[in-house]
Amino acid sequence: MLRLYNSLGKRIEPFRPVNKRVITIFTCGPSVYQRAHIGNFRTFLFEDVLVRYLEYSGYKIKRGMNLTDIEDKAIREAQRRRTTVKGLADRNIREFILEMKFLEMKIPDYLPKASDCVNESVNLIEQLIDRGTAYWHRCNVYFDPLRFPGFGKLYGLDMSKWPSRKRRFHKDTYPGTQWNLGDFILWHGCESDDEFTWNTRIGRGRPAWNIQDPGMVSKYFQETLSIYCGGIDNLFRHHDYTLAILESVRQYPMAKYWLHSNHLYVNGSKMSKSKGNILYADDLHKKGYNAKEIRFFLIYGHYRERINYSERQMTKTTDRLRTFKGMIRKINAKASSKAVFCGEIARSLRNTFTRQMDNDLNLKWAFDGLYRIVSGIQMEELKPVEASGIIKTLQEIDSVLKVIF
C-alpha cells in the first residue's frame, strides 16, 4: 500500500483517498510575475511524479494547478518593465507551459488564473464576513485567525504566543519564513480604475493572494481534496491561510493529505537575484543536458529532502542516467519480437520499484534498486523473451519517471 508523509499530523500514513474512483489533487502553481526557475520545477516535477505514480497504480486523477497572475509583486514588476500586468503574466504563462512540455510534465486538467476567479474569491469573502471570520477595516477586508478554531494546525503553530494587541498585515506576501502573528488581508479595496482592479458586489478592488487559491479551488472542487501539494515555504502562513479560509466556509476538511517538497539549492545557497545564482531549465539545456537529464536531476532525490545543484553533482547524476540507459539499450538489442515473457528479472524490477515508491515516493531508492538489478544481469545468459519482458516492464515504469526511453 502507498504510504505518504502527511504534513497535517506530521506522520507517514497509508494512502486512502477520499474518493477511490477519482483522486482529486490541487497543487500550488507559479507566481507568474517572473519565470519559473529549476527550484520551482523541482516542486512541480515531484507533483508530476506523484500524479504519474498514482496513475501507474491504477487510479484516475483530476488535478488543478493555480496560476497567480495578480499580486503586489506582479504589479511592481509590470510597472518596472513598463508593460501591463496581463501582458507580463501571459508571456510567463506561455513560457511555463512550454517548459512543462519540455520536461515531459502532464498538463493539469485545470490551470486557472487568479484573475479568472475573482467572483469566486468575492463569494468566499462575503461568506466569511457573514460568519464573522472576516471584517472590513477602512477599504480592505481582513481575516481574523482567532475566529477560526485550530488555526495553524497544518504548520503546528503555537497559538499561545498570539499577541493580544490587534495587528493587521496588508501585503500579499512577506519575505522570509516567519509567521505574521495578526490578521491577514483578503481584499485590497481601491477606488482607482486600474487594469488589476475589478468592480464587484463588495466594491472596487482586487483579491489578495491569500484568498486567490481558495477561490480557484472552490471553482473546480466542491468535495474534500484527496491531496494538496506545494513547496515547503507554503507551510509558513500560506497553506494554513488557505485551509482556514475554505474550512471556515465549507465546515469540512479542505484536503485529507498535504504534501510539501523541500528546496533546491545552488552551490549550497538559496537562489536569489541578489546572489545572481538563479538557474532556468534552458540554462542547463545550453550546458549540453537534454530534457530527460534535467528532469532526472530534479526528481532524483526524496522530495522531502533538500537537493543541491552544482556542476559536479549535475554531471554525476547525468552520468548515472546515461550509464543506465546504455545498459537498457544492450538489453533492448537482445529482445525478441515474440510474445513477452515476464520472467524473474522483470518481476524483481516491478516489485523493487513499487516497494520503494510506495514508501513515500522514495524515487531515489527506487531508481537505485532498478540500477542494481539491471547492472547484475548476465547478458550472455539472457534469453530474448526475457529481455522483452524486462523492456516492457521498464517502459511501464518509465510512464512515471519519463527519463529512460
Cα–Cα distance, 290 to 103 (Å, whole number): 9
Burial class (CB in 10 A: 0-12, 13-18, 19+), 367: buried
Residue 41 has pLDDT above 90, yes or no: yes
Could you read off the pLDDT of 335-366 as tens digits, one per residue?
A: 987 767 689 999 999 999 999 999 999 999 99
Residues paired with 203 in a beta bridge: 200
Residues paired with 229 in a beta bridge: 27, 259
364-369 long-range contacts, CB within 8 A, separation 24+: 364/300, 364/301, 364/302, 367/300, 367/324, 367/401
Which grid coordinates belong to 207?
Answer: 483579491
The SS3 assignment for 279 reads coil
E strand segments, 327-403: none
Stretch 213-242: mean pLDDT, rounded?
A: 97
Which grid coordinates belong to 72?
Answer: 503586489
Rg of the chain, C-alpha, whole Å = 23
Could you read off the pLDDT of 200-211 as tens digits, one per residue?
A: 999 999 999 999
Residue pair 145/244 in contact (Cβ under 8 Å)? The answer is yes
The mean predicted confidence, pLDDT, of the chain is: 96
Q: For the sheet containing 61-65, what is the strand order?
A: 61-65, 23-27, 225-231, 255-261
Centre a 10 Å sphere on the Cβ of residue 375 and count the other Cβ atoms it contains: 10
Could you read off the pLDDT of 291-330 as tens digits, one per residue?
A: 999 999 999 999 999 999 999 999 999 999 999 999 999 9
Stretch 39-47: mean pLDDT, rounded?
A: 97
Which grid coordinates belong to 399?
Answer: 510512464
Q: What single DSSP character describes residue 316?
A: H
* pLDDT value of residue 177: 83
* pLDDT value of residue 339: 67
* pLDDT value of residue 338: 73
Cα–Cα distance, 323 to 179 (Å, whole number): 46
**Virtual torsion, Cα 371, 373, 374, 379, nearest 10 deg:** 150
Stretch 262-273: mean pLDDT, rounded?
A: 91
Which grid coordinates belong to 273?
Answer: 537575484
Centre a 10 Å sphere on the Cβ of residue 116 and count the other Cβ atoms it contains: 14
Task: Tell me the residue type at 323.
Answer: T
Q: Delineate the domains of the chain, giving CATH numbers in brackets.
A: 3-261 (3.40.50.620), 290-401 (no CATH)
Stretch 117-125: mean pLDDT, rounded?
A: 98
Q: What single DSSP character describes residue 108?
A: P
Residue 173 has pLDDT above 80, yes or no: yes
Residue 272 has pLDDT above 90, yes or no: no
Cα–Cα distance, 118 to 195 (Å, whole number): 13
pTM: 0.96
Cα–Cα distance, 24 to 221 (Å, whole number): 8
At residue 175 the predicted structure's pLDDT band, cuts being 50, 70 and 90, is confident
* pLDDT value of residue 274: 74
Residue 116 has pLDDT above 70, yes or no: yes
Could you read off the pLDDT of 57-93 as tens digits, one per residue?
A: 999 999 999 999 999 999 999 999 999 999 999 999 9
Least confident of 232-236, 334-338, 383-387: 334-338
Count how many residues are written for the chain: 405
Which grid coordinates belong to 120?
Answer: 469566486
Residue 252 has pLDDT above 80, yes or no: yes
Task: Tell me the residue type at 8.
Answer: L
334-339 long-range contacts, CB within 8 A, separation 24+: 334/379, 334/382, 334/384, 334/387, 335/384, 335/387, 335/388, 335/390, 335/391, 336/384, 336/385, 336/387, 336/388, 337/388, 338/384, 338/385, 338/388, 339/385
* pLDDT value of residue 204: 96
* pLDDT value of residue 135: 98
High-pLDDT (> 90) share of the chain, %: 93
